[in-house]
Structure 1
């Protein structure tokens, strides 16, 4: 029974993380970055590596 709970919890965590990942391109489509949970907390976004992001995706 404990194994079933652990497997279910692991599945829930993995499915949550994969559902919240994505990719953002800048307006001129020559630079992009990936994010895990939210685009605003991506390291590339924080340091402004690609300039303004095109949020329409």
Structure 2
């Protein structure tokens, strides 16, 4: 029973995080990056890999 509760909790956590992911393209649509929780905390965004992004 404890194992089933852990599995359900894990699936719920993964499902929640997956719902918060997305993809952002730059203005000219030549470059994009994925983010997990919020576009502002994406590593690609922080290092400026694609230049200014359009949300």
TM-score > 0.5 by shorter chain: yes
* Partner secondary structure for residue 34 of structure 2: strand
Counterpart in 2 of 1:34? 34
What 5-or-longer segments of structure 1 have no aligned partner? none
Distance in structure 1 (CA, Å) of the matches to 2:3 and 2:47: 42
Please give the root-mean-square deviation of Cα atoms over the aligned residues, in Å: 0.8
Counterpart in 1 of 2:21? 21
Counterpart in 2 of 1:49? 49
The structure in which a higher percent of residues are strand is 2
Figure out how many residues of one structure are paired with residues of the other and give that number.
55
What 5-or-longer segments of structure 2 have no aligned partner? none
Q: Offset of 1:37 from its aligned partner?
A: 1.1
Counterpart in 1 of 2:6? 6
